[in-house]
Amino acid sequence: MSGTDGLALATRGLRKRYGSRRALDGLDLSVPTGVVYGFLGPNGAGKTTTMRVLTGLIHADGGTVEVLGRPFRRGDRHRLFEVGALVESPTFYPYLSGRANLRELAASGAHVSSKRIDELLELVGLSDRAKDKVQDYSMGMKQRLGIGAALLSDPKLLLLDEPANGLDPAGIVAMRDTLRALAAQGKTVVVSSHLLGEVQVMADTVGIIAAGKLVREGPLRELLSMQRVVKVRVRPNLVDAAIKALASFAPAERLTETDRDEGWLAVRAEADCAEEVNQLLAGAGIFASGLESGSDLEMLFLELTGGQAVSGEGTFVGLDAANGSATVGKGTAA
């Protein structure tokens, strides 16, 4: 595969259909070695399908995959000995303990020492409950056990599908620190997540997919530098007036109501323009009660994916508190 030197994971033209639905439509991912890679996309964009292809659970209809610098085709299962994966919600033998589940899981694939199992139980904070049956575990505990299971063979490449699911805030922080530490050791971590804030804090590089295609990929810092945002909060009844006041500075496509009820507006700008926005509003007799300036992955994500539902997948429809009618989210352009 050309142009994949130094990559821990690369896909080229990956295609997958489920009946008439195109789940992956020529996906090209390039995951550098030794980074935390945030894999983002709306529901049904193809994230989990990609994870399944990368772990050999399903087979792509076309395209190529390269794992740790070598082709990964049907039958190349040994390549997965160096890969750890948590795909969808982790499931285990409910009648076995956490430790026994890891032990039996370690019997498949690459060899794992029993010492490693103890270390992992310690790492994910399950040492005290290691002898309890998994059927008595909470969702967060199963998730932690799943992360431990993904780390069993000390993988060079770690694929995690929504790893923060069910974790409490302390657990999320610990997981984030662990993944960062693994990347610092030269391992590569691919995290598929819908928690944009979490990815923004954790990832070095992000890939955003929509409708089975990569729409943006690159170092997070670079992507965000192109996505400067000023968020301003005014009284909710003054939102329309504020939009009018900022019209000369920010045309409609650069102005977004992020939360009308709370009076939040976001202005996309090339450079820091918080002062200018504040001045314009004050000139129109509108005084901001909040002003934030920086970069926002959510804005970038919504812009690239269009904030739209994938065909056939649907999206969350909120109820408009004012009139009780159903409205699609508030992140739409003003």
Q: Are 159 and 54 in contact (CB under 8 A)?
A: yes
Q: Which is nearer to other proteins, 130 or 300 (CB)?
A: 130
Which of 322, 303, 333 minimizes the C-alpha distance to 236? 322
Q: Which is nearer to other proteins, 58 or 241 (CB)?
A: 58
20 binds other proteins (CB under 8 A): no
Helix extents (H) in 124-226:
139-150, 169-184, 196-202, 220-225
Which of 30, 9, 23, 43 minimizes the C-alpha distance to 305? 43
Q: Which is nearer to other proteins, 14 or 85 (CB)?
A: 85
SS3 of residue 197 by DSSP:
helix
Binding region for other proteins (CB under 8 A) out of 80-88, 166-174, 202-210, 217-225: 80-88
Options 2, 19, 107, 321; binder of other proteins; rule CB under 8 A: 107
Q: What is the DSSP letter of 259?
A: E
At its nearest, how many Å lie between other proteins and the CB of residue 88?
Answer: 7
37-76: contacts with other proteins (CB under 8 A): 52, 55-59
> Hunting for tokens 């900022």 — which residue is that?
246
Alpha carbon separation from 296 to 54, 141, 206, 227, 304 (Å, rounded): 29, 31, 13, 7, 13
At its nearest, how many Å lie between other proteins and the CB of residue 101?
Answer: 9
Q: Are 301 and 294 in contact (CB under 8 A)?
A: no
147 binds other proteins (CB under 8 A): no
254 binds other proteins (CB under 8 A): no
100 binds other proteins (CB under 8 A): yes
96 binds other proteins (CB under 8 A): yes
105 binds other proteins (CB under 8 A): yes
Binding region for other proteins (CB under 8 A) out of 36-44, 145-153, 207-215, 257-265: 145-153
Task: Beginning with the edge strand found earlier in the chain, give each strand of the sheet holding 157-161 in spatial order.
Answer: 83-86, 157-161, 188-192, 36-40, 205-210, 213-219
Among left, alpha and beta (phi > 0; psi -120 to 50; other), residue 259 is beta
Options 8, 10, 45, 85; binder of other proteins; rule CB under 8 A: 85
Residues in the chain: 334
Binding region for other proteins (CB under 8 A) out of 27-35, 96-104, 199-207, 270-278: 96-104
Which of 160, 7, 12 minimizes the C-alpha distance to 73? 12
184-223: contacts with other proteins (CB under 8 A): none
114 binds other proteins (CB under 8 A): no
Q: Are 50 and 85 in contact (CB under 8 A)?
A: no
83 binds other proteins (CB under 8 A): yes
Binding region for other proteins (CB under 8 A) out of 25-33, 98-106, 182-190, 287-295: 98-106
Q: Which is nearer to other proteins, 142 or 233 (CB)?
A: 142
Options 153, 192, 200, 305; binder of other proteins; rule CB under 8 A: 153
At its nearest, how many Å lie between other proteins and the CB of residue 56?
Answer: 6
Q: Which is nearer to other proteins, 80 or 239 (CB)?
A: 80
Q: Are 275 and 291 in contact (CB under 8 A)?
A: no
- List, in order, residues 6 or more apart from 34 with CB less than 8 Å away: 8, 183, 186, 187, 188
165 binds other proteins (CB under 8 A): no
Q: Point out which residues bind other proteins (CB under 8 A).
A: 52, 55-59, 77-81, 83, 85, 87-88, 91-96, 100, 103-105, 107-111, 149, 152-153
